């Protein structure tokens, strides 16, 4: 059986690099580590499922990074493992289902933060109401600001399901 190199031909090399750079800057926009983007980029333009060893040698990153990166990508729903029957090692391919990936991101990263923010604002409203009881004009002004913030927070939160729906069509 002939050795199949990860990089099938020379023309591919530039494409690999472009794809990797693209996804690196994408994941960094989301606050994820660079290696995540590298791995996903590599898998995105791969012509076959790659093993962890392939990832390590192609990107020149450590086994540790590759292992951690792949497992994060799996939990993000961005990569799926597809062990070929009869093959020893696990193989991975990119999941191109963008809406599923974004969905995962929203549910796991965005929603929790929004909910946390909501709690914080509730507490702020309480505190500001207590201050306003003491009836300094300034305090009730602050209370109004916080209530306005609360409205924005709720507005932002209500936008999320709408975006999710939009993604799916």
Contact residues toward its own copies (CB under 8 A) are: 8-9, 11-12, 14-15, 18-19, 21-22, 25-26, 29, 31, 44-45, 47-48, 96, 98, 113, 116-117, 120-121, 123-124, 127-128, 130-131, 134, 136, 138-139, 141-142, 145-146, 148-149, 152, 159, 163, 166
Among 5, 25, 67, 97, binds DNA (CB under 7 A): 67
Shortest Å distance, C-beta 122 to its own copies: 10
Site for DNA in 80-99 (CB under 7 A): 88-90
Site for DNA in 6-65 (CB under 7 A): 31-36, 51-53, 60-65
Q: With helix as H, strand as E and coil as C, how does the chain read?
A: CCCCCCCCCHHHHHHHHHHHHHHHHHHHHCCCCHHHHHHHHHHHCCCCCEEHHHHHHHHCCCHHHHHHHHHHHHHHCCEEECCCCCCCCCEEEECCCHHHHHHHHHHHHHHHHHHHHHHHHHHHHHHHHHHHHCCCHHHHHHHHHHHHHHHHHHHHHHHHHHHHHHHCC
Total residues contacting DNA by CB under 7 A comes to: 23
């Amino acid at each position: 059986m002939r050795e199949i190199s990860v990089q099938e031909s020379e023309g591919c090399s530039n494409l690999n690099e472009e794809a990797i750079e693209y996804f690196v800057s994408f994941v960094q926009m989301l606050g994820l580590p660079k290696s995540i983007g590298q791995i996903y980029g590599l898998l995105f333009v791969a012509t076959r499922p790659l093993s962890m060893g392939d990832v390590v040698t192609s990107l020149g990153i450590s086994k540790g990074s590759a292992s951690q990166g792949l497992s994060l990508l799996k939990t993000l729903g961005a990569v799926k493992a597809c062990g070929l029957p009869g093959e020893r090692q696990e193989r991975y391919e990119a999941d191109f289902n963008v809406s599923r990936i974004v969905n995962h991101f929203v549910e796991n990263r965005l929603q929790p933060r929004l909910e946390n923010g909501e709690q914080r604002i509730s507490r702020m409203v309480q505190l500001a109401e207590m201050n306003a009881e003491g009836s300094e004009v300034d305090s009730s002004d602050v209370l109004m600001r916080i209530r306005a913030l609360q409205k924005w927070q709720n507005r932002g939160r209500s936008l999320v399901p709408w975006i999710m729906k939009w993604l799916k069509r």
